[in-house]
Amino acid sequence: MPRYKLVIEYDGGPFSGWQRQADAQTVQGAIEAAVTRFCGEGARLTCAGRTDAGVHATHQVAHLDLAKAWRTDTVRDALNAHLRPLPVAILSAALVPESFDARHSAIRRHYRYHILNRRSPAALTRAHVWQVPWPLDPEPMHEAAQRLLGLHDFTAFRAAECQAKSPMRTLERLDVTHQWMGLHGEIVIETCARSFLHHQVRAMVGTLMLAGCRRLTADDVADILRTGDKTRCGPLAPAAGLTFVGVDYE
């Protein structure tokens, strides 16, 4: 059976996450329904990284198998036609070997988090940022972020319902930068790892926010990581500010 690699963009706001659910609208469910309307098949998608409710993607990757070898542009355009008016777009479709697996072949996943740092609420981007009204200093945030790099037990930044067998993860990148957006500032946090624990990125962002308002030092954040003490972490950052932005393969 021909295997297709899909690159997908979506606004996570209207969806209850990526993973198919019987009683809720999900990204996976919407695309699989579009596949059925396109070619009458009940194909199942496998994605690189399942996103939570409200989390967005600019470069999610998934694969599916179809009985017929369709032209790749036909697959892309037909799925997009059947996905309207949902905020999901198939950016590309490509034939790949049967050995390709969107999840297991991935060697690195990339996320980006946006914090709108101003008193006034967001009028245009409220569904894509975390608005923090008190001043944040990105320098101590970045300093604290560097203490989380490497192979560690990330129990402190793990959701209680996380199903991963081990809390050990290797964080390859966690950068905090400041960008001016007209009259206000936006703090951007970029991170990548082979894999993440459930809620890990949002938990780290919430704790880095406390470093940004100087309620925690870099040493405090390192100690939270070492001890696994969730009670000292910051709030779980809202899903709206998080976007899955890429996945690397060999």
- Give the residue numbers marked as catalytic: 52
Of 148, 183, 179, nearest to 156 by C-alpha is 148
Tell me the two tokens of residue 166.
């081990």
Under a CB-based contact definition with an 8 Å cutoff, are residues 97 and 4 in contact?
Answer: no
Under a CB-based contact definition with an 8 Å cutoff, are residues 7 and 58 in contact?
Answer: no
Q: Which residues neighbour 15 within 8 Å (Cβ) at sequence distance 6 or greater?
A: 25, 26, 27, 30, 53, 54
3-state SS, 212-238, equals HCCCCCHHHHHHHHHHCCHHHCCCCCC
Cα–Cα dist 173/104, whole Å: 21
Cα–Cα dist 206/131, whole Å: 12
Cα–Cα dist 59/10, whole Å: 9
Count CA within 13 A, CB hemisphere, residue 103: 8
Q: In whole angstroms, how far apart are CA 191 and each of 61, 196, 200, 204, 230?
A: 17, 10, 11, 10, 21
Q: What is the DSSP string of 73-122?
A: HHHHHHHHHHHTTSSEEEEEEEEE-TT--TTTTEEEEEEEEEEEESSSPP
